[in-house]
Each structure stands twice: as structure tokens, then as C-alpha cells.
Structure 1
Amino acid sequence: MRAAAWSAPVVASVALAPHAAASGGTIVSQFYDVSPSAYNSAGRPTALVGSMSFGNTGTPNVTISTITVTVTLPASRVSGASPTNVTGAGWAYTSTSSGGGTRLFVFTWTGSLPAYGSTSQLNFTVALNNTSPGTVSSTATASASGGNSVSTTVTWSI
């Protein structure tokens, strides 16, 4: 009889503060989570699932119409394939690029985000091409139309 060792993935969630106020809306991150999923027969994850949402804490009567989010992951861990299972009202996958040992996945939210309002939650799945044990970090940078940008990094274990 073989015994299997199980370990729970560590998931970090970090709230963001805006870099600086701008003439437009002020975007803040409400949350950003990334966690391993879709495990293979060896118990190793074959994908990462990410989710996030943003709010407008800017001046009353200032509406944000577009938010662009760039998710950075290590190219040594993820494939260059387009994300799957992209969901969230107003959210769309825009592009993937590579550079400096990273993969950049770009998403865009389009709508009308009034002051003190929130976007819907963006969800996406990215395929892993390296499931060896270790620590992985991901950075999400969001920019608002006519406003500021915010950035955060989350780290978890595979």
C-alpha cells in the first residue's frame, strides 16, 4: 500500500492602496487571489486560477470607463496560451506577451464605474507548463482611464 503526501496550497491575498490621486477616478484593488487548480494524477496542479475586482474611490461624479489589468507570471511556470474561463461582466482578455522571463496577460474592463462603485469580479485560468514544487509570484497592475494605477504581488506554493 502506498501512502500519499498532501499539502495545501498557500494563497496570499493583498489589498492595494492607490499610488497617487489623479484628475480622474481613483482605482483601488478590492482583492487579488491566485491559486493552483486542476491537479494531475501525480497530485500536481496543471493550472492557475486568478480572480480580482476593483473599486473607484475617487471624487463624487467622476466615472471610470476603462480599467486595464496586466497580470505578470514567470514564463518558466506558465504557457503562452491565452487564458481560459475568462468571466466577469465587462471584462475581456486582450493579449499575451513575453519578455524578461515573464508572461504578461492583459485584461480590460469596460463600463461605467461611478465613485464608490465596484467592478464585477474578473476570473481567469492560465495553464501551467512547470508543476515542480516551489514558490511562485504573480503581479497584477491595474490602470484606470483618466486616473491612477495600482499594483500588487501575491506569492503561493506549488
Structure 2
Amino acid sequence: MSEDPKGPGAVALGWWSTHIGPRDMPAAKALSARLRRAAPLAVLCEPAVQDLARALNLGPAQADRLVQLAVLLAELREHTGARLARRLGGAEPVLSQLRFQRLIRAEGDELTDLLRRAIAMADRKCNVAALAADLLHWEAARPRWCFDYFGAEAPAKDLEEQTR
């Protein structure tokens, strides 16, 4: 599944590349640290997070999802082509099957905490755009994560129907 160049994943990747990705820049490093440590309302008070909200057209009703997205993007250090679930699983998984199952079933703060740990286990690198798109549409992304974790190709038709 290729990422839509104007979709939420591409928007989030552009935001991450500007505000968080350049770790050699003190402002990016500071923003990342603030986001990783901040309470939800403090995350929403960051001007860069408000820029992300506007770019993604997210309002107060999606504040929890926006906070989760910003906090998890702040955990990433490198953008690669591999989706997070692929980096976690495969022939020699870095995340056990039991922990993966718990992550897939998680909601809210528990999901955020488990994804933080998973990102650390994946050496803080994955496909930023794919992760962002998946977080914004978590219910639809869960089945694909299961296929990705086990290194299997998901039936494209089935997954396309689930994401509609």
C-alpha cells in the first residue's frame, strides 16, 4: 500500500521532518523532549502541534488522537521504509507475540505507552508516514499490523475494504 502524497501520513512526515527529525538542531531536540515529557494539555499548547492539527484538519474532538500522534512522533529518530509492525516482528521478532497481542488490543493511554516501548525496541526508526496514518485510523490499521508483524502480505482487497 503506497502512501498518498497528500494524505495524513505524508502531512505528518513533512511536519516531523521539519519540527522533530533534524536532531542536530537545538529547536527540534527541545521540542521532541518537551513532547515526550509533557502532559496532554501541554502538548496541545505547543505551537508546532497546533500547526500539525491545522495541516491534518484536526479539531478539539480529535485532541486525544493529536496528542498521541505528536508524542509518538517525538519518540522517532529516523524515517525508514519499514513499517513499525514489520520492524517489531518477522523471523526474529524484537517484540514477543504476547506483547504484540497486548499492543493490538490496547486503547488510549495504554496504547500510547505500549507503542512508546515498541518504538524504542525498533531502535526508534520506522516509516513515519505509515505510523502516522495508522495512528489516525487505528481501527482500520490493526489487521494490517497483524500481517506486517508476522511478515505476511495482507490480501489487498480485504484491507482496502476495511479502510473505507
Taking structure 2 as the reference length, the TM-score comes to 0.22
Higher helix proportion (structure 1 or 2): 2
Structure possessing the higher radius of gyration over alpha carbons: 1
Higher RCO (C-alpha under 8 Å, 6+ residues apart): 1
Higher strand proportion (structure 1 or 2): 1
